[in-house]
Amino acid sequence: MDLTGAGTPILFLCVMCLIIFIMWTKNNKRKKMPPGPTPFPLLGNILQLNIKELPKSFMKLANIYGDVFTVHLGPRTVVVLHGYDTVKEALVDNAHVFSERAKFPGAEFVFKGYGVLLSNGERWKQLRRFSLTTLRNFGMGKRSVEERIHEELRCLRDELKKLKGSSFDPTYLLTLAVSNVIYSIVFGERFEYKDEKFHNLLTMLKEAFKIRNSSTGQLLNSFPKLFLRLPGPQQKVLKNISSIKEFVLEKVKAHQETLDRNCPRDFIDCFLIKMDEDKEIPDSEFHFRNLFVTVMNLFFAGTETTSMTLTIGLRILLKYPDVLAKVQKEIDLVVGQNRCPSVEDRSNMPYTDAVIHEIQRFGDILPFSIPHATAHTTVFRGYTIPKGTTVFPLLTSALKDPKYFQHPDKFNPDHFLDEAGAFRKNEASIPFSTGKRICLGEGMARMQIFLFLTFILQNFNLKSDEDPCDIDLSPLPNTNSVIPRPYKIQLVPLLS
């Protein structure tokens, strides 16, 4: 008796039942999770989102589904948090649940879970505590962070004066200056602006940042197994990351050969000393893999966002010459022309402080922070979110929250000033994120932005061939609202 013909429809029926059961199970789980658009099999909601402008897509979905909603980026389930109250409730009030770092497949392939930025558990706790303490100690040492910044400011001023007021794109020069500060703290030295190795290093850094925020970066993290094998710009970035790793490892070896335990020169020296102190502790996280990944984390995080804030800040001041004039007047009154601005000046410069905070709010250079994850299954605002679910805190929705900012889509320093003109904090201003995973370099970044901006405005007048009314402050399209538009500026020296 031939059962072949009968077996085929039975097998087909079994497969269909299995598919229906899997889909029913997933749908049943989704009913308990926050609402969101219905995903397609395998692809999730990729076809329903603009992956070149994800922040805008998420803002639109929030209008439909509310302040907590679910999207599926390929097979990855993501819960998006919209609005400051929602972000704070998760990252601050429920920090024990939402402070895990989500798997970041593109970075995971390179860093393997090491370093301070993307790790979790005891590794993250040890490395973050050490990094914060070490960076803080540099602020109080013989050669403080502020002194290193002042050194770089003088070098930047000399470089800018060579331009003699001609038009130039400030992006790269500001990146060189800012990166030299973190490079000095981490590696103990600075590069000359014309150094070819320095230029190559920063070019690779910028390419990695650009890809991370592009549609290719989103697809890489949504379908890592596929996109790690496909040709494309991601392959060049992965190769560049390997080159940066080799560079860092070379520097670490050089530090080992010249280390003086009694006189640490930089972050690497401090880490090497800690490695030696903990060499008998079996579960210590102070070893070579964590060292060079943490160094790369600090260098990446300490360069691009700060320099981009300064670049956007100068562009904003070109558009608002009345704001620029008020800032320069306050600099003249408080600092004068005979010394460099200091961190202590900030408390006496409420208008400048308000302008800088508004530049960070309006500039909105990180629309969503590095993804979080749930440490365990939790009920949040009535929804069940399973353990390990990726969470996107939508920082742009906090920075543009109409509940906290009267004119969220307009540049207005009054958002940070009271009726008497004194500086006023606004809790929804979280450009560095919030909670336990807040950027560990926040203090240093705020110091750099204040000192760089006030120093430039103390020494130079800002001019442009563009009419202020024609200056477009929106980011380049199709860059996930991250990459600013290129522009040219003239920095005319105030003193000969």
Q: Which ranges of 373-423 would DSSP assign to H, the alpha helix?
A: 395-399
Are 53 and 478 in contact, with CB atoms under 8 Å apart?
yes
CA distance 256 to 272: 7
Give the residue numbers spanning the domain of 106: 9-493
Q: Is residue 478 part of a domain?
A: yes
CB distance 85 to 403 below 8 Å:
yes
Q: Does residue 93 belong to any structural domain of this protein?
A: yes
Can you give the pLDDT at residue 1? 46
pLDDT at 259 (0 to 100)? 94
Q: How far apart (Å, rounded) are the C-alpha atoms in residues 147 and 139?
A: 9
pLDDT at 119: 93
Q: For residue 194, give the CATH number of its domain.
A: 1.10.630.10
| pLDDT at residue number 358 | 98
- Residue 124, domain member (yes or no): yes
Coil, strand or helix at 261 = coil
Determine the pLDDT at residue 175.
Answer: 93
Q: Tell me, what amino acid is at 230?
A: L
Tell whether 118 is covered by a domain.
Answer: yes
Domain count, the chain: 1
Is 283 within the bounds of a domain? Answer: yes
Structure tokens at 307: 């320099």
- Walking along the chain (496 residues) 10 residues at a time, the average pLDDT comes out as 54 56 50 93 92 94 98 94 98 97 77 88 95 78 79 95 94 93 90 88 77 70 72 76 84 93 92 94 92 87 89 98 98 95 96 98 92 96 96 97 96 97 97 94 93 97 96 91 91 81
315, 411 contact by CB (below 8 A): no
Tell me if 1 is assigned to some domain: no
Residue 2 resides in a domain:
no
Backbone angles phi, psi at 253, to 5 degrees: -65, -40
How far is Cα 114 from Cα 382, in angstroms, rounded to an integer? Answer: 35
What phi, psi does 219 have (nearest 5°)?
A: -70, -35
Whether residue 188 is contained in a domain is answered as yes
